[in-house]
Amino acid sequence: MKFFLDTANIDQIKEAQDLGVIDGVTTNPSLMAKEGIKGTENILKHYVDICNIVDGDVSAEVISTDFEGMIEEGEKLASLHAQIVVKIPVIKEGIKAIKYLTSKGIRTNCTLVFTVGQALLAAKAGATYVSPFVGRLDDISHDGMELIAQIVDMFNYYGLKTQVLAASIRNTMHINKCIELGADVATCPLEPILGLLNHPLTDSGLKKFLDDYNKLNG
């Protein structure tokens, strides 16, 4: 399973890239705003900066909601860098835009997916990735992981090539569940990924090794 870092924060992206654990980055307009990136030129430059740090796909989201606007923005974003994947919301105009951009060889990430039906329409339009939002479903007392399971099964059943990019991943257990269910990618901040390293037997085992070494050599 691939890990994408879900942030527009350059320091976090550099830290994760240096650790060698990430395969790409996802952003959205809220994450860009959180970093104070404003103005079209600055936003486009920020995407290029991210691409120059990571080896892998970088999702850049359109802000238009009409077909013409989305394809114009999508083509501009895709021309910035070969690693850019255009992120499009799963609305009617978005599905049309995904179909169009796919026909032009531009890769897409269909975002804000909350049902199996939305994932199917995105896949039929040719999306490279679909992004079901796990944490936001959990927030309203729905089982976000159940949606990942259903989409993975559905794509396997119909032989659809679209990758399941589990988004809105908030904790390490979410990641463990994604691995179990066979999600293609999980996107989240660095913290839950580092949580995978935690085990008390690793800590106690390492302490004993070092204590035993130091008894003779210390």
7 contacts ligand E4P (rule: CB under 6 A): no
CA distances from 200 to 172, 175, 205 (A): 15, 19, 8
Q: Does 183 bind ligand E4P (CB under 6 A)?
A: no
Among 83, 111, 162, 163, binds ligand E4P (CB under 6 A): 111
Q: How far is the CB of 22 from ligand E4P (least distance, A)?
A: 14
Contact region for ligand E4P (CB under 6 A) — 76-84, 132-140, 154-162, 208-216? 132-140
Could you give the CA distance from residue 30 to residue 51 in angstroms, rounded to a whole number? 19
8 phi and psi angles, rounded to 5 deg: -115, 10
Among 99, 136, 172, 195, binds ligand E4P (CB under 6 A): 136
Residue nearer to ligand E4P on the CB measure, 9 or 28: 28
Nearest approach, Cβ of residue 13 and ligand E4P (Å): 14
Of 111, 71, 117, 116, nearest to 87 by C-alpha is 111
Among 47, 100, 129, 133, binds ligand E4P (CB under 6 A): 133
Q: How many helices (H) and strands (E) does the chain have?
A: 11, 8
- Report the alpha-carbon distance of residue 175 to residue 129 in Å, rounded: 18
Rounded to a whole number of angstroms, the minimum distance from the CB of residue 201 to ligand E4P is: 31
